[in-house]
Structure 1
Amino acid sequence: MLITRLESIQAMVECAEGLGVPRGSPMFKHALDAVSFISAEKIATKVDYLKKTFRWSDAEVGMALSRSPMMLRHSMDALQSKSEFLISEVGLEPEYIAHRPAMLNYSLDGRLRPRYYVVKFLKANGLLDRDRDYYSVFSYVEKVFVQRYICPYKDAAPHLAEDYDAAHRGGVPANFKFT
């Protein structure tokens, strides 16, 4: 930004504020980064795409972008894949995702899908005593996730750790049993 023209910086600030991120917000620097050197037309196209793909209202898009402006940097293919997974496969409501847009910053194959498979397996086999909030499941750092969802079940499901590791490499492991 030090070598950027003042007019360009002012345009970025206006664009970030236009997304609903106030200047005093901790997310403002991320919003500036997200909109830097992206044309207003491309941002408008991405906002429309978010509305269509996640079935969000204008207010929900504004809320999601104010909480996670870096969504603007994700490819449309990545957003589409995450939308299909979170809405169609996991069954999350669009409004739920809009309130927790940080989920969209996680890797689909490296974090979201493997953790979903673990929770689905545990539920299907009666090993979880109550429903879990998927945002929490997806948000835990790796060590905490393993401590809460893998280690306590090593006797009841000895293959779970290996299946989780295999899911990180892609697909559903053959011995993940959803009964």
Structure 2
Amino acid sequence: MFRKILLCVELLGEEKIAAKVKYLKSTLGWSDAEVGIALSKDPSVLRRSKNMLQRRSEFLLSELGLEPAYIAHRPAILTYSLECRPRPRYYVVKFLKENGLLAHSHSYYTALLRTEKVFMEKYICPHMEAAPQLAEDYAAAC
């Protein structure tokens, strides 16, 4: 992590980092402590564009209803392409839970972190009989 932080400082500079921290606080509603937690876990968040951060924060806060503190402790959520991973997987997990095919204790974050192969094995393949369209819908969404 130390090398990643140094790289961000070198690439961005102090002024841009300060501006990005301010933007993270206003966009995600983070406190200074939450910004510190997020950046200590994944400093590459600083290198994300404001537009990208805005779109992800809207999805995570509004659509998923995640708390800012939850995101701060899991900043990797901010690094994935919405269209390729978070949004399609969210809809799969939501569908499975709503139809009683997945325990409500399953975490969206866990599903998000899985590799594509493992995600398919754990969330799509076991439900092919109960929800035959799920694999096709997921592939189309990706």
Name the TM-score, length of structure 1 as normaliser. Answer: 0.77
SS at match of 1:109: coil
The structure with higher relative contact order (CA 8 Å, sep 6+) is: 2
Identity level (%): 61
- Which structure 2 residue ranges, 5 or more long, are not aligned? none
**2:30 aligned residue:** 56
Number of matched pairs:
142
1:22-71: CA deviation from partner (whole Å, max 9, x where unpaired): xxxxx111112222231211110100000011110000001100110000
Rg (Cα) greater in structure: 1
Equivalent AA in structure 2 for residue 82 of structure 1: R
What 5-or-longer segments of structure 1 have no aligned partner?
1-26, 169-179
Partner SS for 1:108:
coil
Distance, in Å, in 2 between the alignment partners of 1:129 and 1:46 is 38
From 42, 54, 58, give the equivalent of 2:16: 42
For the residue of structure 2 that corresponds to 1:156, the secondary structure is: coil
Q: Where in structure 1 do 4 or more consecutive aligned residues deviate above 3 Å?
A: none
User: Is residue 94 of structure 1 aligned with residue 68 of structure 2?
Assistant: yes
Q: Distance in 1 between matches of 2:49 and 2:27?
A: 12
Q: Is the 8 Å Cα contact of residues 64 and 99 (structure 1) preserved in structure 2?
A: yes
Tell me, in whole angstroms, the C-alpha distance in 2 between the residues paired with 1:126 and 1:167. 22
2:130 to 134, 138, 156: 156
Q: TM-score, normalised by structure 2?
A: 0.96
Instruction: Return the alpha-carbon distance in structure 2 between the equivalents of residues 126 and 51 of structure 1.
Output: 37
1:132 Cα deviation after fit: 1.7
1:32 aligned residue: 6
Partner of 2:105: 131
